[in-house]
Amino acid sequence: MSKDALDKLRRRIEEMDVALLKLLNERAGVSLEIGKLKAESGLGVYDPDREESIFEYLARDNQGPLNTSEINRIFSEIISISRRLQSTGSEPQAKSTAGGHTSALSGSTSVYGILGNPVAQSMSPLMHNVAFRHLDIDAIYLPFEVEDLQGAIAGMRALRIKGASVTHPFKTEVFGLIDEIDDTAEKIGAVNTLIFEKGRIRGTNTDWVGAVRYLKTLLQIEGHKFVVLGAGGAARAVVFGVTSQGGEAIVVNRSEEKGRALAEEFDCAFVPFSEVESARGDCLVNTTPVGMYPKEDEMPVPKGVLGAYKAVADVIYNPLKTMLLREAEGAGCRVASGFEMFVFQGIEQFKIWTGKEPPVELMRNIVLERLQTS
């Protein structure tokens, strides 16, 4: 090939790049308009049916030479950017600083908090406080690093705390210290939310709601198979959420005893980790800590299994995008970070405590910004 011919082809590429840039910016403008219309109509940004239909018509109309995996990888990023732009158009700015409490506290200020150890790294105060301020609710959410859970619960009861989140390592220990546990928390085997009412404390679980909502950003749950890695508390929430929504769960775990016990409890299949490559499903969900900071270069499954899935989700949100999710994107999968599950479970808590619709995109964006800059 002559140099002139090569230069001519490169000029064509440059012209195409400029044309693509123009189209992408036009698409971004439309996304902003969609965000405004959704806000006016009271609709959420996430529309999993619509997103799934995009991948379907792209696969149908693609004539190559790009393959379906490459197309999915490109448009996964475009759709992610579109969500962010729609969020920008759908939510007003916060009325206070990033999660800080700027209103004057008084004797009538409602107090909420999170019980755990450690809790210094928790994003919950940031997320709930910005929502309180946005809705002009006289309330504050505080982190409580607890050594004595029984003493902490007694103290919160005496101080008439309005509600609390429960995190590691107290989600099961709290069972014997409160007055009532609802059927959902009982079934999952963990409490992550406390409601203080008329001197009584009721426990429930919103982790499963977070799991359902974040999986629905990838695909519909009903009629699809979800291969769940792990058998701990997060796995229980995911399996409960999937099966309660008409999906099928397959448990994969290193400890066969724990994995089989979870699978039998929820009447679903079990596959030993040594046979993970034989597991077949639409979505792979990692609920193990493999890949979490500081061991960010680890993956819970071999890279080669990822191409068998349409979507991959990870409950880890530090790092925001684990090696598992990066490799899954490279294999053409749609992906979802654990921060989505975290935000959605917190949104459900806020609804339970206040009876109000929270500013979903504001809560999501404030957490995302902190994770991206931390």
Domains, the chain, with CATH or none: 17-90 (1.20.59.10), 110-205+341-373 (3.40.50.10860), 209-336 (3.40.50.720)
Q: Catalytic amino acids? A: 171
Question: What whole-number distance in Å separates Cα of residue 111 and Cα of residue 131?
Answer: 14
- Residue-wise pLDDT for 124-140, tens only, equals 999 999 999 999 999 99
Question: What whole-number distance in Å separates Cα of residue 148 and Cα of residue 160?
Answer: 18
Strand ordering across the sheet containing 248-253: 269-272, 248-253, 225-229, 283-286, 311-314, 334-336
**Which residues are CB-neighbours of 62 under 8 A, at least 6 positions away?**
68, 71
pLDDT value, residue 48: 67
Look-up of token digits 């409601």 = 195
* DSSP 8-state secondary structure symbol assigned to residue 334: E
pLDDT value, residue 207: 95
pLDDT value, residue 89: 60
Query: Between helices 68-90 and 323-330, what is the axis angle to 10°?
Result: 120
- Residue-wise pLDDT for 142-185, tens only, equals 999 999 999 999 999 999 999 999 998 899 899 999 999 999 99
Q: Which structure tokens are listed for 67?
A: 């393959």
Look-up of token digits 């999915």 = 72
Question: What whole-number distance in Å separates Cα of residue 240 and Cα of residue 223?
Answer: 15
Question: What whole-number distance in Å separates Cα of residue 112 and Cα of residue 161?
Answer: 6
**Low pLDDT (below 70) residues in the chain:** 1, 42, 46, 48, 88-104, 374
pLDDT value, residue 94: 42
Cβ contacts of 74-82, under 8 Å, gap ≥ 24: 76/329, 76/333, 76/334, 76/335, 77/329, 78/24, 78/27, 79/51, 79/54, 81/28, 81/31, 82/27, 82/28, 82/31
pLDDT value, residue 96: 43
pLDDT value, residue 101: 53
**Peptide bond connecting 169 to the previous residue in cis, omega within 30 degrees of 0:** yes
Question: What whole-number distance in Å separates Cα of residue 285 and Cα of residue 208?
Answer: 13
pLDDT value, residue 46: 66
The answer to whether the beta carbons of residues 337 and 321 sit under 8 Å apart is: yes
